[in-house]
Amino acid sequence: MRRVVALLLSLLLAGCSEEPGDQGFAGLAADGATGDYLQPAAGDELVFPEDFGPHPQHRIEWWYLTANLQTPDGNPVGLQWTQFRQAIRPRAPEASPPDPSSWALTAAWMAHAAVSVDGQHYFAEKLARADVGHAGAMPDPLSVWLDDWQLTQKAPGQWHLSVAAPGWGYDLTLFISGEPIAHGDHGFSAKSASGEGSMYFSLVDIRIEGQITAGGQTLTVSGKGWFDREWSSQLLKTGQQGWDWFALHLDSGDKLMAFQLREEAGGFRSGTWLPAGGDPVALAPDDLILSPERFRNGHPTRWRLQVPARDLDLSVQALPGDYRNDGQFPYWESPVRVQGSHSGVGYMELTGYQGESGR
CATH of domain 4-91+102-351: 2.40.370.10
Residue 358 binned pLDDT confidence (cut-offs 50, 70, 90)? very low
Q: Is 341 exposed, middle or buried (0-12, 13-18, 19+ CB in 10 A)?
A: middle
Task: Tell me phi and psi for residue 303, to 5 degrees.
Answer: -125, 150
> Within 10 Å of residue 298's Cβ, how many Cβ atoms?
15
Q: Tell me the average pLDDT across 172-199.
A: 94
Q: How far apart are CA 247 and CA 330, in angstroms?
A: 20
Q: Report pLDDT for 264.
A: 77
Q: Tell me the average pLDDT across 242-266.
A: 93
Q: How far apart are CA 307 and CA 318, in angstroms?
A: 20
What's at 314, amino acid-wise?
L
Share of the chain above pLDDT 70, in %: 82
pLDDT higher than threshold 60 for residue 2: no
Beta bridge partners of 7: none
Q: Is 5 strand, coil or helix? A: helix
Q: How far apart are CA 337 and CA 318, in angstroms?
A: 6
Share of the chain above pLDDT 90, in %: 71
What rounded mean pLDDT belongs to the chain? 86
Q: How far apart are CA 103 and CA 16, in angstroms?
A: 13
pLDDT digit string, tens, across residues 31-65 = 344 568 899 999 999 999 999 999 989 999 999 99
Describe the crossing of helices 24-31 and 4-14 by its angle, rounded to 10 degrees. Answer: 110
Lowest model confidence (mean pLDDT) among 4-8, 121-125, 169-173, 290-294: 4-8
What's at 172, amino acid-wise?
L
Residue 164 binned pLDDT confidence (cut-offs 50, 70, 90)? very high
Beta bridge partners of 255: 249, 274
pLDDT digit string, tens, across residues 201-215 = 999 999 999 999 999
* Max Cα-Cα span within the chain: 59
Q: Which residues contact 304 (CB under 8 A, 6 or more apart)?
A: 289, 290, 291, 293, 313, 314, 315, 316, 340
What's at 57, amino acid-wise?
Q
